[in-house]
Amino acid sequence: MARQDVVTALKEVLVEKLQVEADTITEDANLFDDLGLDSIDLMTVVMAIEERFNIEVPDDELEDVTTIGQAADLLAAKVGTNA
Amino acid sequence: MPNQRRIAVTGIGPGGGVTPIGTGVTEFWESILAGRSGAGPITKFDTSKYPVHFGGEVADFDISEYLHPRRARRMGRFTQLAYAATKLALDDAKLDPQDFDPARIGVVIGSGIGGIALTEEEHTVLGEKGPRFVSPELIAKMIPNAAAGAVAIEFGFQGPNDCTVTACASSGHAIARAVDLLRSGAADIIITGGTEASITPLSLAAFCTARALSKRNDDPQHASRPFDADRDGFVMSEGATVLVLEAMDVADNRGADVLAEVMGYGLSADAHHIVMPHPEGEGAASCMDQALKDSDLAPQDIGYISAHGTSTNLGDLAETKAIRKVFGDSPPPVSSTKSMTGHLLGAAGTTAAAATILGLRHQILPPNINYETPDPAIDLDIVANQPREAKVNAAISNAFGFGGHNVSVVLAKP
């Protein structure tokens, strides 16, 4: 499972579930300051990714995630372990 | 009451299509004058296994016409309807919130069952996928007070914020609460109303098994027939109606067009049964009595009664008895606008009040459509089928709810 698949999935979830403008979703985009998410939005995104890739991300590992790139790294690592 | 702060209605917002018979004041009033029914087949889900296949849906409601989808996403449908109704009411009142101290503008929006649709959806998720996949947004979106909270957030109203939850009396109680807040000086302007979006698989099933709904599936538009001898239950509708209430001094200072004055209200409980009305209408009568007293008016001052009249056998009969108790042998003309709108449950009180306010303004009584066969037990002057021109200075609008809650609001021509 390539990291790019996770990024694509993240974008889909952000656009479809949270109505984030697609072109604002870049690797460096800050989830909260740039994309306007709050903690509940982040949980919504993570849950959708968890379901899609059949992974589980412990809450404490999400504490330091602030950008799309960091989220992709964390989620891709979980997907990799699972595969 | 002398020296009491008087209260003006300056805006009406049956928004968002927000009643099944129209978006905004103009369309709503045109539908009333035309005696239009908002009932039709339920399109939201498959009702083939249900004994009832129709209701009063708000067709073509698109929140993006009112609010950016990103903002609207955190709102359940009942909150979106309330937001749209608020926006329309503020427009109608020509009130720019920026002109006021936000701490002096409050919100009281009631709802009977809030976001029951969301609860149902997430309960399905719980069963199918497990607790880990239940939406973290559920509670924030489904609580009935979410609408009042969201309206404050979106418009920046920092004054008193409240939600009244008394089933089908919810928005009647919202008006009463708003009156209190304005009279006491806790706020200068209150956005008040009710909202409901409960045409959902579970809620429809439960109202069906409770035998509360009309089963006139072959003729939905004639199903809601309050006070008619062949009434067989109510028609479940959705929607929101919001009113802008202002202290009269505030409305006068800004040169607002005062649509009506809220004279007072009455509250009571049947203290009888959780869903059935008191058979002699005692709670409803006491409620109307108190509303007249609070308004410093006598029964003969009332020129129109906007009945709760849901088109159920017992409910309409009990209300009739209550009206006769309060108004004696010659009660003023009566109609139930639920004959057209269907029953908006938590939004019913302000929807009927909105029709009453427009009736006072235009000196035309809203019709009670589908009144075809008089019921010998209903000895009232029903405004049958056609709107009626009348000289009317004051009117009373009723809202009663499961639980035995009663509210009556007295409205007057300014």
Q: In chain A, whose CA is at the least distance from the CA of B132? A: A47
For the beta carbon of residue A33, count every other beta carbon within 10 angstroms: 10
Q: How confident is the model at residue A1 (pLDDT cuts 50, 70, 90)?
A: low
Give the nearest partner residue to B137 out of A36, A40, A50, using CB atoms.
Answer: A40
* B314 part of contact set with chain A, CB < 8 Å: no
Of A55-69, B360-374, B376-390, where does mean pLDDT reach its minimum?
A: A55-69
CB-CB neighbors (< 8 A) of B129 in chain A? 51
**The pTM is what?**
0.95
CB-CB neighbors (< 8 A) of A51 in chain B? 129, 133
Give pLDDT tens digits for B246-268.
999 999 999 999 999 999 999 99
pLDDT value at residue B1 = 54
Is pLDDT above 80 for B156? yes
**Structural contact between residues B86 and B147, judged by C-beta atoms closer than 8 angstroms:** no
**Structural contact between residues B24 and B204, judged by C-beta atoms closer than 8 angstroms:** no
Q: State the Cα–Cα distance between residues B195 and B78, nearest whole angstrom.
A: 6
Determine which one of B168, B173, B287, B405 is catalytic: B168
Give the nearest partner residue to A44 out of B68, B132, B137, using CB atoms.
Answer: B137
Is A18 within 8 Å of B70 when comparing Cβ atoms?
Answer: yes
Torsion of CA B58, B63, B65, B66, to 10 degrees: 110
Residue range B279-302: average pLDDT? 98
pLDDT value at residue B54 = 98
Q: State the Cα–Cα distance between residues B103 and B189, nearest whole angstrom.
A: 10
Phi, psi of B60 (to 5 degrees): 60, 30
Give the nearest partner residue to B136 out of A19, A44, A56, using CB atoms.
Answer: A44
